[in-house]
């Protein structure tokens, strides 16, 4: 397994990162089985493990902590903060008050004295980014975390955070964790170039487009909209909806391309993400050991220019055929009052 430097920190991480969102009640509730997945990844050369406090309400962190006993020093461990972890208005977000509490909770669940990469899971417009950066900087100085980053931030929020860090002499976001796949290439327009401009490491998630690039969902085949991801977001999977036609058509072309290359569709999908010069590591989020082994089989796959050109023809650079699940939307889009003047002020004369 090759390693790349994580955002100028000097920390070397494997090009494949083990994601643990599916560990616990949401995915695989068998702690021993999840531990076997962790150990198999480490034995194959993966030294980078990513989790979050909100994955299965903290259960994922507990599983990861148990699995890493005796091997913690060899692992670059990442987790995240932001999403609510209980009832009450102050048990989530990016405030200093919550971050300093949440990091202690994560350290306890993970059974470790430090976190290598602590990430802000989403933007929070109720908190000044200076407040967030100051709290994270203090955690680095206290030795509780080694570096910090952001996740699923739009390009303009990344730039603002970099400028605030420079003006206020604070630590800066060293990494960004955005969604990225052949079907969701929107970050190529601004997020990835911005990360390159500031020397940030990039950990990409959902390389299989929430299952669309597993080959499980095919054009002309029936889709069970009552189970798995289709049950959670049926509008994104229903082949009867006109907006999904382009996704299913692209998958058919990609399946044919994978056959020409001599690999599986998931292997093609993951190899595509690690070929981008801005990407440091691609997060693999298996639920079973079999899924992990299938993805790691393609670790040595290098796509040549002809294959990448063909992918560009199927899904042009910067295009989102499949908007990823869970992506943050700015208030300027979600709050109509921010887009509309008072009725008395809407006329030009």
Residue 55 is among the residues annotated as catalytic for this protein: yes
Give the pair of three-digit tokens for residue 194: 């911005």
* Burial environment of residue 50 by CB neighbours within 10 A (0 to 12, 13 to 18, 19 or more): buried
Q: CA nearest 102: which of 56, 136, 149?
A: 136
CA dihedral 71→73→79→81, nearest 10 degrees, is: 130
Q: CA nearest 37: which of 325, 287, 326?
A: 287
Instruction: For the chain, give the number of residues.
Output: 349
Could you tell me the end-to-end alpha-carbon distance of the chain, in angstroms, rounded to an integer? 66
Q: CA nearest 101: which of 53, 64, 69, 149?
A: 53
* Burial environment of residue 300 by CB neighbours within 10 A (0 to 12, 13 to 18, 19 or more): exposed
Helices and strands (H, E) in the chain, number of each type: 13, 10
Catalytic residues: 55
């Amino acid at each position: 397994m090759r390693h790349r430097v994580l955002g100028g920190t000097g920390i070397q991480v494997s090009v494949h990162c083990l994601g643990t969102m599916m560990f616990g009640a949401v995915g695989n509730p068998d702690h021993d089985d999840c531990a076997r997945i962790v150990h198999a990844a480490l034995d194959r050369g993966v030294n980078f493990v990513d989790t979050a406090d909100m994955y299965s309400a903290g259960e994922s962190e507990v599983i990861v902590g148990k699995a890493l006993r005796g091997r913690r020093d060899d692992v670059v461990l990442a987790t995240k903060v932001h999403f609510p972890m209980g009832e009450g208005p102050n048990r989530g977000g990016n405030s200093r008050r919550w971050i300093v509490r949440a990091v202690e909770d994560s350290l306890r669940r993970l059974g470790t004295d430090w976190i290598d990469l602590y990430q802000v899971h989403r933007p929070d417009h109720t908190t000044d980014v200076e407040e967030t950066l100051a709290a994270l900087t203090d955690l680095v100085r206290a030795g509780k975390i080694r570096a910090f980053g952001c996740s699923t931030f739009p390009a303009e929020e990344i730039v603002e955070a970099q400028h605030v860090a420079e003006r206020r002499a604070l630590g800066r976001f060293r990494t960004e964790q955005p969604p990225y796949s052949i079907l969701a290439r929107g970050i190529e327009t601004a997020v990835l170039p911005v990360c390159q401009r500031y020397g940030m490491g990039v950990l990409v998630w959902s390389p299989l487009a929430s299952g669309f690039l597993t080959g499980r969902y095919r054009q002309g085949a029936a889709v069970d909209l009552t189970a798995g991801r289709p049950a959670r977001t049926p509008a994104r999977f229903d082949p009867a909806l006109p907006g999904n036609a382009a996704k299913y058509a692209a998958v058919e072309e990609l399946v044919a391309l994978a056959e020409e290359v001599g690999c599986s569709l998931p292997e093609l999908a993951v190899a595509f993400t690690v070929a981008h010069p801005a990407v440091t590591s691609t997060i693999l989020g298996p639920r079973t050991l079999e899924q992990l082994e299938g993805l790691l089989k393609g670790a040595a796959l290098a796509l040549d220019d002809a294959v990448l050109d063909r992918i560009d023809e199927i899904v042009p650079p910067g295009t989102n055929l499949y908007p990823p699940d869970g992506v943050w939307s700015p208030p300027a889009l979600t709050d109509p009052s921010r887009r509309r003047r008072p009725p008395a002020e809407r006329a030009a004369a």
